[in-house]
Amino acid sequence: MSKRTSVILDVRMKRESKSFTDALYAVLTAAGLFDGPKFMLSGLSGMAFKFTVHEKLLPYSVTAYGQWGTEHSRAADNLGIFFQYDGGRTRHDSFGEYQRLAIDNVKLSLDHGRACIYWIPEFGVIHGYDEDDQVFYVQDGWSGETQVVLYDNFGLNFTPFWDCMYVGERVKIPLQDAVLESLRLALEDWETPHKTLPDLSLASGRLAYSFLIRALQQVEFDSSGAVYILESYQTSRIEICAYLQEVQSVLPGLDAVQRLYAELGEGLRGPFAAALTVMNGSTMLIPEQLPSLCSALEKALRLEEAAMQQVRVISEQYPDRKRSTLPRWGAHTAR
């Protein structure tokens, strides 16, 4: 059997949610491994509930929701997707060898008809390669155009780390089980203030609200980062509302959680529309509207707190083997 020299898969990534969610959705739908709307993938994976904010509202907040190996593996696990990844720091002496192996893994995945998720940054999709030109074809989701990455430049970017993920087959998980686990992932994110320790400049879940409101009140923040965080936050809450609307009958009491998130989304719509404006093709914040926006976010915090308390009540009604059973080798630090 002759070795293939090029592959181009028909994959269409579109940026609408978190970049990992958008990339995973593109990869899975193209491979026939997921056939629902994107908000269902975002909800079931737990990605919609992830909310992280830097104290100065730097734009990288949106992807700084924890150790990627752990966060993304758990997201894929709850979808029943076999998931592997390569990644690390480009400064390590071993990077060259890992890069070579990862390039082979990407080509092997593409040969099997499955695109790969790749840190550009942010996350995009590798959907093809050409062995003669020694290049990968990459989509970032912002446009329909394909970018080219040389094999020699694979993993190199302006951040100090690299990451590439591959998917395999899917197993069927009962919907009730998947929904329950997505709620538990959401509650864990909500109650973990810092997911990138020892860095305390990033807050997650409940504390992320405090970081966001305080920065907006002090008017000492990265303006483009603030817009990106707010837009991502609003999109994720829309996804959560749609997800809970779809699955609210799966678990007793979930309808109450859905109503709280629906109230949260409705309360944010006006203040967000008033605070964000488009000028010269760029979205900007209107300083005079920040007090009203902060008030709306404070109310949203109270509503989400109430929703998470109801999630805890639901969760406690069912056994939780994932968190009550000690792994064979004991507890260990997430990668």
pLDDT digits (tens, 9 = 90+) for 282-316: 899 999 999 999 999 999 999 999 999 999 999 99
pLDDT digits (tens, 9 = 90+) for 16-72: 999 999 999 999 999 999 999 999 999 999 999 999 999 999 999 999 999 999 999
Environment class of 141 (CB within 10 Å of its CB; exposed 0-12, middle 13-18, buried 19+) = buried
pLDDT tier at 106, thresholds 50, 70, 90: very high
Flag whether pLDDT at 15 surpasses 60.
Answer: yes
Q: What confidence score (pLDDT) does residue 210 get? A: 98
Flag whether pLDDT at 100 surpasses 90.
Answer: yes
Q: What confidence score (pLDDT) does residue 134 get? A: 97
Instruction: Give CA torsion, residues 123, 37, 305, 71, to 10 deg.
Output: -30
**DSSP per position, 38-98:** HHHHHHHTSGGG--EEETT--GGGGG-SS-HHHHHHHHHHHHTEEEEEEEEETTSTTHHHH
pLDDT tier at 329, thresholds 50, 70, 90: low
Give exposure, 299-331, as e/b (b: 16+ Cβ within 10 Å).
ebbebbebbbebbeebbeeeeeeeeeeeeeeee
Which whole number is the average pLDDT over 316-335? 67
Q: What is the set of domains in the chain, with CATH numbers?
A: 6-36+66-170 (3.90.70.10), 175-319 (no CATH)
- 3-class DSSP assignment, residue 276: strand
Question: In whole angstroms, what is the distance from residue 333 CA to residue 335 CA?
Answer: 6
Q: What confidence score (pLDDT) does residue 326 get? A: 57
Alpha carbon separation from 249 to 121, 178, 257 (Å, rounded): 38, 14, 11
**How much of the chain exceeds pLDDT 90, in percent?**
90
pLDDT tier at 334, thresholds 50, 70, 90: very low
Those residues whose C-beta lies under 8 Å from the C-beta of residue 334, and which sit 6 or more positions away, are 66, 67, 69, 70
pLDDT digits (tens, 9 = 90+) for 223-275: 999 999 999 999 999 999 999 999 999 999 999 999 999 999 999 999 999 99
Q: What confidence score (pLDDT) does residue 325 get? A: 63
Q: What confidence score (pLDDT) does residue 321 get? A: 82
Choice between 34 and 145, residue whose per-residue pLDDT is larger = 34
Poorest-pLDDT segment among 13-17, 73-77, 120-124, 318-322: 318-322
pLDDT tier at 328, thresholds 50, 70, 90: low
pLDDT digits (tens, 9 = 90+) for 115-124: 999 999 999 9
Choice between 325 and 46, residue whose per-residue pLDDT is larger = 46
Which whole number is the average pLDDT over 84-104? 93
Which whole number is the average pLDDT over 206-219? 96
- Reference 12, options 181, 112, 134, 140; nearest CA is 140
Max Cα–Cα distance, the chain, nearest Å: 67
Q: What confidence score (pLDDT) does residue 165 get? A: 97
Flag whether pLDDT at 220 surpasses 90.
Answer: no
pLDDT tier at 324, thresholds 50, 70, 90: confident
Average pLDDT along the chain? 94
Question: In whole angstroms, what is the distance from residue 9 CA to residue 129 CA?
Answer: 9
